[in-house]
Amino acid sequence: TIRTVRTNVVIWCPLRSSDDTMVRTVLIVAAIAPAVAFVANQPVVAPRASSQTVVMAELVGATPPLNGFDPLKFSAGATEAQMAKYRECELKHGRIAMAAMLGAFVEPKFHPLAESCHVTAVDDPIKAGYELNFAGKCQILAFCAGVEFVTYKMKEGDKYRPGDVLGAAYFLEDETDEQWVSYQEKELNNGRLAMLAIMGYFAQYAVAGTYDDLLFKPLLK
């Protein structure tokens, strides 16, 4: 789970061979930073301005085998309001990580905008990020700003739930419905897996300079 709320923006520039050290440094930081922000889940019920502490066993997402995803124990003694904030961060970073991993798999095979964006390193998502022109970066930031604005407006409602950007909670009659809880748990667990995956992706690229399979592919030769 990611606790970080602040958004860090890296200004990308065209990659040159002399930039390898800088690239690896940035990737190491990107891979390590999320690790200090893992946090557990929050209740399904709406967060209240309460000092009551949250019990791990009562949280949505406390599924086997971990039965509570909180490696650094941020949830210890946390109130409902604090856990709601942590859940907001967890869902946001999990969704970003899932999108990032999807892009890492799809971009090397399918990138219809590469030519118009002046991207030549289509088979390397990291270098492609450096090559993306200023207009492309602005479009990405504008999209992120749009999502943040929608989230901000959704929070004005009395039934808002952490991470509920589309307002699904406003159409629910029973928040303890088995299918709804199952959906939330699937999103949380896939997001957690994606966060670990993207950190490993960045770490390997920073250390080895490649995202290719270094474990199993050599065994098959």
Give the model confidence (pLDDT) of 74-91 as tens digits: 888 888 888 888 888 899
pLDDT of residue 25 exceeding 80, the answer is: no
List of residues 6+ apart from 31 with CB closer than 8 A: 199, 200, 202, 203, 206
**Angle 178-208/80-106 helices, nearest 10 degrees?**
60
Model pTM above 0.85: no
Average pLDDT value for the chain: 75
Q: Determine the pLDDT at residue 55.
A: 55
Query: What is the Cα–Cα distance from 74 to 55, expressed in whole angstroms?
Result: 12
**Residues facing residue 79 across a β-bridge:** 53
Residue 130 — pLDDT band, cuts 50, 70, 90? confident
Residue 14 has pLDDT above 80, yes or no: no
